[in-house]
Amino acid sequence: MEELRDKAVLITGGGGGIGRATALAFARAGARLMLGDLDLEAAEETARQVAAIGGEAHATRCDVSRPEEAEALVREAAARLGRLDCAVNNAGIEASQESTARLPVETWERTIAINLSGVFYCMRAELAAMRASGGAIVNIASVLGLVGFAGAAAYVAAKHGVIGLTKVAAIEFAARGIRVNAVCPGFVETPMLERVGVTSDAERRALIEGLHPINRLGRPEEIAGAVLYLCSDAASFVTGHALVVDGGYTAR
Ligand SMILES: NC(=O)c1ccc[n+]([C@@H]2O[C@H](COP(=O)([O-])OP(=O)(O)OC[C@H]3O[C@@H](n4cnc5c(N)ncnc54)[C@H](O)[C@@H]3O)[C@@H](O)[C@H]2O)c1
């Protein structure tokens, strides 16, 4: 994708599975990157991997659930890269796996704060930064932004909210040349799935794989491909869309 060469791209959660794969895919396309993550060391490791393939990436610590930190991250991205062309709001935490009746209020609030409000805080600042020259924003939602999943009330609510937020911003900013889309991955092999015991337990893994007609977990690179497409000129007429990349999870 030659048109992504030299583009200034911000990725939140750039130290993790999907964020890191997306950073490397953008770097291969010649884009310049700002990576924000709660885990600075992880973001720095991604930056090292980007440098190793000849790319440019800056890493900084940021908690997207704090509005002032989200704003500072966008400011820093625009300052270090000279402008902001694309933003990928990817930072997120996993579902807590408790029934709705027993879900602690603190877990609900933390999940909403990071997975929904964090996207809003970042996007608010990104839209302002892109106002003059246009751009593309991609929010990482989930298939659980489209359908329910037992034991994931806060996560499912947050991801449904991300898709709603995506549609509203897309409508509001279409005339200003800013496209806003979401990607809805099925279950993807990342550290997140290891933490919730999907990839560390053979039986659980087989069960989750079976929910996807393709009968395997997604690879982070497969999500990165969709993000790059939505940021590219090939998607110039695509906005307000929630692109499912799920091995058929939502097809049945
Ligand atoms: N892995 C999956 O199966 C899957 C499926 C659908 C959607 N997603 C979504 O994709 C995104 C990336 O997930 P992943 O699987 O790569 O997870 P991951 O845990 O590998 O990476 C997430 C990254 O976000 C960072 N992060 C967490 N809280 C943060 C905060 N408050 N501020 C800034 N950074 C923070 C983490 O440090 C980590 O580097 C998430 O939004 C997740 O909900 C994942």
2 — pLDDT class (breaks 50, 70, 90): confident
Classify 66 in phi/psi space as left (phi over 0), alpha (psi -120 to 50) or beta: beta
Q: Which domain holds residue 7?
A: 2-187+220-244
pLDDT at 74 over 80: yes
Question: pTM for the complete prediction?
Answer: 0.98
* Active-site residue, 155 included: yes
Q: Mean pLDDT, to the nearest integer, of 221-247?
A: 98
Residue 59 pairs in a beta bridge with: 35
The answer to whether the beta carbons of residues 54 and 24 sit under 8 Å apart is: no
Query: Quick one: pLDDT at residue 114?
Result: 98
Q: Which of 10, 11, 12, 18 to mutate to test the pocket of ligand 1 (most atoms within 8 A of CB)?
A: 18
For residues 124 and 118, what is the distance between their CA atoms, to the nearest angstrom?
A: 10
| Residue 93 binned pLDDT confidence (cut-offs 50, 70, 90) | very high
- The total number of structural domains that make up the chain: 1
Tell me the best of 71, 90, 198 to mutate to test the pocket of ligand 1, counting ligand atoms within 8 Å of each CB and taking the most. Answer: 90
Instruction: Return the higher-pLDDT residue of 132 and 183.
Output: 183
Give the pLDDT confidence score for residue 226 in this predicted structure: 98
- Is the pLDDT at 1 greater than 90? The verdict is no
Per-residue HEC secondary structure of 97-114 comes to CECHHHCCHHHHHHHHHH
State how far the Cα of 34 lies from the Cα of 31, in Å rounded to an integer. 10
Please write the tens of the pLDDT for every residue from 133-172.
999 999 999 999 999 999 999 999 999 999 999 999 999 9
Give the Cα separation of 174 and 171 in Å (integer). 6
Q: Of the residues 121, 155, 229, 249, which is catalytic?
A: 155
Is the residue at 207 inside a domain? no
Check whether 180 has a pLDDT greater than 80.
yes
Nearest-angstrom CA–CA distance, 218 and 224 = 11
**Nearest to 242, CA basis, from 150, 168, 151:** 168
In the predicted model, is pLDDT for residue 84 greater than 80? yes
Domain of 141, CATH number, reads 3.40.50.720
The residue-averaged pLDDT of 18-42 equals 98
Quick check: is 195 in a domain? no
Q: Is 96 inside a domain boundary?
A: yes
Residue 198 lies in a domain: no
Report how far residue 158's alpha carbon sits from residue 206's, in angstroms, rounded to the nearest whole number. 26
Are the beta carbons of 85 and 136 closer than 8 angstroms?
yes
Pocket of ligand 1 (CB under 6 A): 12-13, 15-19, 37-39, 42, 62-65, 90-93, 114, 118, 140, 142, 185, 187-188, 190-193
Closest atom, ligand 1, to C-alpha of 141: 7
Model confidence pLDDT, tens digit, residues 184-219:
999 999 999 999 999 999 999 999 999 999 999 999
Residue 203 lies in a domain: no
- Mean residue pLDDT of the chain comes to 97
Q: What is the mean pLDDT of residues 14-41?
A: 98
Residues comprising the chain, all counted: 252
Average pLDDT over residues 227-243: 98
DSSP for 45-100, please give it.
Answer: HHHHHHHHTT-EEEEEE--TTSHHHHHHHHHHHHHHHSS--EEEE--------B-G
Is residue 164, in this structure, part of any structural domain at all? yes
Residue 169 lies in a domain: yes
Query: Which residue minimizes the CA distance to atom 40 of ligand 1?
Result: 92
pLDDT category at 60 given cuts 50, 70, 90 is very high
pLDDT above 70 covers what percent of the chain? 100
